[in-house]
Amino acid sequence: MGGGTAVTGLAFRVLLVGRGLRGLAHRLFDGESLVAVGPPEADFVGVEDVVRRHFPDVLLVDLLHAEALGAIERIMAARPVPILALHPGVLTGQQAFQALALGALDVMDRPIHPGPEFWHSVGRKLVMLAQVKGVRPSPSVSRQAPEGPAAPFPLVALAASLGGPKAVAQVLRMIPRGFPAPIAYCQHISEGFTEGLAHWLSSETALRVVEATHDAWMEPGTVYIAPSGGHLLVKPEGRLELDSGPALRGFRPSCDMLLTSAGEAFGRRCIGVILTGMGRDGARGLKEIRERGGRTIAQDEASCVVYGMPREAVLLGAAQEVLPLERIGPTLVQWVDAC
């Protein structure tokens, strides 16, 4: 894809959906502007779960199979993401328009024998669509509630970067033992340091603080830290999931991935907090929590070491409250008691 649109800094994550796209990765992905995530070609059945797990920036969907339209509809209901659909010439144009009506952003006709120029054009289109912000469900679909039994407690999801450990310690000191919610915490930190961070926070606060492990069940009054080098996700029933997939917009663990999964899993019973840190990781995830009925907090500028991530959250309209650091802990206690 050497002739594709240049991307500054980071590659966009692409999920291929449909058996007809088997073996295309080497034609599309150069590792600089586009990288593949998930299975080599995701099946239509359960594809919405694959999207939730791998957080792609854009999808390439093969319309050749009858299940494709249903898959697009489910994706746009569960977690809207930009979609480029490939329309084989053997189909009628009606299927292409149906894909657009269900939420696909664009459709390209796929020749019977596509050459390198065609795949270059697909790559350029994927880069363009990956940068589209604010993709919403089509009017005919609505966001689905999580399936399966809900956890018997609310959840606090916490994100921080530069200056975060000290700020988090101050917040946690204001939370008493017996706090009736678990806390899932994503911190940008060098690999290998999260275990030490957990021990230090345990010694500084009344709460139990541990490094998160895959498939563990969350317990109220416990803080679960995303391990360095992996993504932390939460499930509706209260289980943790670790994802070793590629970095999301430069970060692994990703605050956006944790907060987004928390909003999707816990909805109105989720409280999201974004603290001091450089960049914008976490702002989109915090907005996801707010849009799903949860409550959200951003640390104020005066008490931040770096007013980057909280500032982006405020500009995005993701923060319900902007609070000084000393007020965040007591507010969490009050809000969790009201859940």
SS3 262: helix
Strands 240-243 and 270-274: unpaired
Tell me if residue 188 is catalytic. yes
- The DSSP bridge partners found for residue 277 are 307
Cβ-based neighbours of 327, under 8 Å, separated by 6 or more: none
d(CA 42, CA 21): 9
Tokens for 283, please give them: 């702002």
d(CA 329, CA 58): 37
The one catalytic residue among 62, 281, 300, 303: 281
The one catalytic residue among 54, 62, 161, 231: 161
H/E segment holding residue 3: none
DSSP 83: E
Which amino acid is it at 174? M
C-beta of residue 64 within 8 angstroms of C-beta of residue 39: no
Tell me if residue 281 is catalytic. yes
SS3 33: coil
Task: Quote the longest CA-to-CA distance of the chain.
Answer: 66
DSSP 173: H
Tell me if residue 161 is catalytic. yes
Which amino acid is it at 302? A
The one catalytic residue among 54, 87, 188, 231: 188
d(CA 321, CA 324): 10
SS3 59: strand
d(CA 163, CA 177): 24
The residues assigned a catalytic role are 161, 188, 281
